[in-house]
Amino acid sequence: MDLDTVRGFFAQAPFMVDLGVEPVAVAPGKLSTKLVIATRHLQHTGQVHAGVMAAMADHTMGAAAQSLAPEGHWALTAELKTAQLRPARGERLVCEAVVLKAGRNLSFTEAEVYAEAAGQRTLVMKASATMALAKAG
């Protein structure tokens, strides 16, 4: 799966388009995405809403799993766990996802979400997901 294919995959997900999540790098079983932080991503305290980061991590992990999925199968989230480590503030979020184990029926993934501000990168969320591999159609 190349970067243009992944960008097409994300473009077909209206929620990801609305959030502004964009793929920036891909390798088999790995994917990185970015999101430019806007006011609409914030909660009342001025930090990025945890739901924004969780959705970003979920879709990024799903796309990483999809890159290793058998032909004719979709990677669908069966279980998602997130841990917000600290408030996310800054100019952008970057998510790095990796497939830990790709199986015939399930794939296990992890992601880290970073907030970037003034050239500094801070880890703000860890996530893990189990992806079910279901026949398309």
Q: Encode pLDDT of 19-59 as tens digits.
A: 999 999 999 999 999 999 999 999 999 999 999 999 999 99
Domain CATH number, residue 126:
3.10.129.10
Model pLDDT, residue 88: 98
Q: How far apart are CA 19 and CA 3, in angstroms?
A: 19
The total of structural domains in the chain comes to 1
Q: Encode pLDDT of 88-97 as tens digits.
A: 999 999 999 9
Strands 106-117 and 73-84: unpaired
Q: Is 31 helix (H, G, I), strand (E, B) or coil?
A: strand
Q: Encode pLDDT of 99-121 as tens digits.
A: 999 999 999 999 999 999 999 99
Query: Does position 1 have pLDDT exceeding 90, yes or no?
Result: no
Model pLDDT, residue 137: 78
State the residue range of the domain holding 55. 3-135
